[in-house]
Amino acid sequence: MNTILVVGDSYTYGQGCKDRIYYYDNEKKSHIGSYFSYPLYPASQYCWASLLQKQLPNYNVVNIASPGNSQFGIFKDTVDYVSTHNDIALVLFNATFFNRVSIASCGNPDIINPWSPTWFDNETELNTAQPKYYVDAKQGYIKYLMSDEILQYQSIMATLAAHSVVTSKNIKFLWCTPETIPNRSVFEYESYKPLMTINHLRYTHVCRYDFSKNLDFELNFNKYHFIDNHVNELGHSMFFEEELLPTVMRTLNIQ
């Protein structure tokens, strides 16, 4: 029982740290950096999960977070790993934005791909070569079939489902969600109240961490976030020291 499983999206993968830079520059109209994604490339060596591995050498920290991951994708990652490994002590479930959905991959429906309707506003999506029918299907979904409320409940469901999968194997479970803002409870949002039942297992999501300690959003962004809004290595380091490590040590009863 010495594996700590870390699941999540780009924030958990460490996109925005200096070894994992990839963003679209609106002025230059081009991508900067190289596209990294798990499992082709491991997570950043500067992300909090990598720092956790260095701090706890007796544990095997497995970070399978992947940029762009959806809530159902993170749930599936959890199920796939937990159902095939027996040595897990703790799962750190880093939820993503509720509007990330799972859809069939273009041309290979057996593969599930994450996608966010908000990516249509993003040059990245517009510059990705996709067949017209696939883009039309996505646009039709946004215009006629999508509902924020449905997506919010799916998001809650995936988190609760992961909790059930993990704890039913007697593995400890901690979670966080980016659907918060610093200094405000996630439960001020009506639809998130059902997650109150597992609030005692929640830690702050790295992208919502108040590095300034006084809600100085300008400082938080300018110093601890990369220009694409991902958290940089300085942010990951501070988040790790102040929030993540104490929570993990307490949960695993490490002195």
Residues 6 or more apart whose CB falls under 8 angstroms from that of 58 comprise 2
Q: Pick from 62, 181, 198, 219: which binds other proteins (CB under 8 A)?
A: 198
Q: Pick from 38, 194, 219, 237: which binds other proteins (CB under 8 A)?
A: 194
Spatial contact of 205 and 159, defined as CB atoms under 8 Å apart: no
Around 76, how many Cα atoms within 13 Å sit in the side-chain half-sphere? 13
CA distance 247 to 218: 27
The verdict on 104 binding other proteins (CB under 8 A) reads yes
Minimum separation from the CB atom of position 133 to other proteins (A): 6
Q: Pick from 94, 96, 154, 177: which binds other proteins (CB under 8 A)?
A: 154
CA distance 9 to 34: 17
**Distances in whole angstroms, Cα of residue 239 to Cα of each of 6, 99, 246:** 15, 25, 10
The verdict on 188 binding other proteins (CB under 8 A) reads no
The verdict on 98 binding other proteins (CB under 8 A) reads no
Spatial contact of 220 and 212, defined as CB atoms under 8 Å apart: yes
Stretch that binds other proteins, among 29-37, 79-87, 177-185, 203-211 (CB under 8 A): 79-87
Nearest to 173 by CA among 47, 50, 13, 5: 5
Minimum separation from the CB atom of position 173 to other proteins (A): 10
The verdict on 156 binding other proteins (CB under 8 A) reads yes
Q: Pick from 168, 214, 253, 255: which binds other proteins (CB under 8 A)?
A: 168
Minimum separation from the CB atom of position 163 to other proteins (A): 5
How many CB atoms lie under 10 A from the CB of residue 49?
28
Q: What is the binding site for other proteins (CB under 8 A)? A: 72, 75-76, 79, 82-84, 102-104, 106, 109-112, 133-134, 136-138, 140-141, 143-147, 149-150, 153-154, 156-158, 160-165, 167-169, 193-194, 197-198
